[in-house]
Structures are given as C-alpha cells and as structure tokens.
Copies of this chain bind each other. A is one copy, B any other.
C-alpha cells in the first residue's frame, strides 16, 4: 500500500539502517539537530532517546520535528519528512533500544542505569520533500 506522505521512490532511505538527522525546537524556538537511529513501520517512524536529552525535552514541549536522510551511495539523493511526535512511549526494559541496536549493529553499550529514562519518540510524517 502506498503511504499518503512517504514517496515509494525514497522509502528505502527509511527501511535501510541509515542514520537520520532529526531536527527539533529548543525552548527559545531555535532549531536543534543531531544524528539518530530510526525505524519505520509503514505508518510511524520511531526513535530511541532518554528523558534527560534535548530531543525528549524539546519534543515533549513542542512536537514539531523534521528528519533528513541522505543515501551514502548517492549523497544527492535524500528524503526530508516533516511531522509531529504524536506520542512518547516509555521503554523501561530497553527492549526497543535493543531492536534498534541490532538493526544498526551496536558498537557501544548504553550507559548503565540508562533504561529507566529510555523513551520512544513516535513520529507521524505529514509532509515530504525529496530529490
């Protein structure tokens, strides 16, 4: 089924284990952007973070986000999705973190004691640009 927002031609940039760069809004309205793991289920894009990080603080305050992913094999090819963090789920056992860690081939362990603070940002894409 075709998604109403995500173009079929660029959906591989979500299904491949590529880093996205997720932009959020700081308290003063300025943008913040850092690399992030992502996983797409055909409807939502999910990210793992912890409650003490800017990505969580910012999206809990203002859900507007945008993500940019380009193709390492053809770097002018990219997908930008804008949307909202529709929901923030808890991940107290770090199970979702482990799913993403396996997807990306973990090369570091999360800090000990990190799990109670771990959350899942659930993004609904509402607008796409691509090249």
Contact = CB atoms under 8 A, between A and B. Distances in A.
A25 to B, nearest CB: 6
Interface string A8-26: 0000000000010111110
Contact of A29 (B24, B29, B68, B78): B29
Interface stretch (A41-49, A59-67, A115-123): A59-67
A110 to B, nearest CB: 12
A33 B66 contact: yes
- Chain A interface size band reads 20 to 34
A129 interface: yes
A22 B21 CA distance: 9
A67 B33 CA distance: 6
Q: Which of A32, A67, A107 has the most CB of B within 10 A?
A: A32
A7 interface: no
A31 B64 contact: yes
Interface of A: 19, 21-25, 29-35, 54, 64-68, 70, 72, 75-76, 78, 80, 82, 107-108, 129
15 contacts: A19-B75, A21-B23, A21-B33, A24-B31, A25-B31, A30-B66, A31-B31, A31-B64, A31-B65, A34-B68, A34-B80, A34-B129, A35-B76, A35-B78, A76-B107
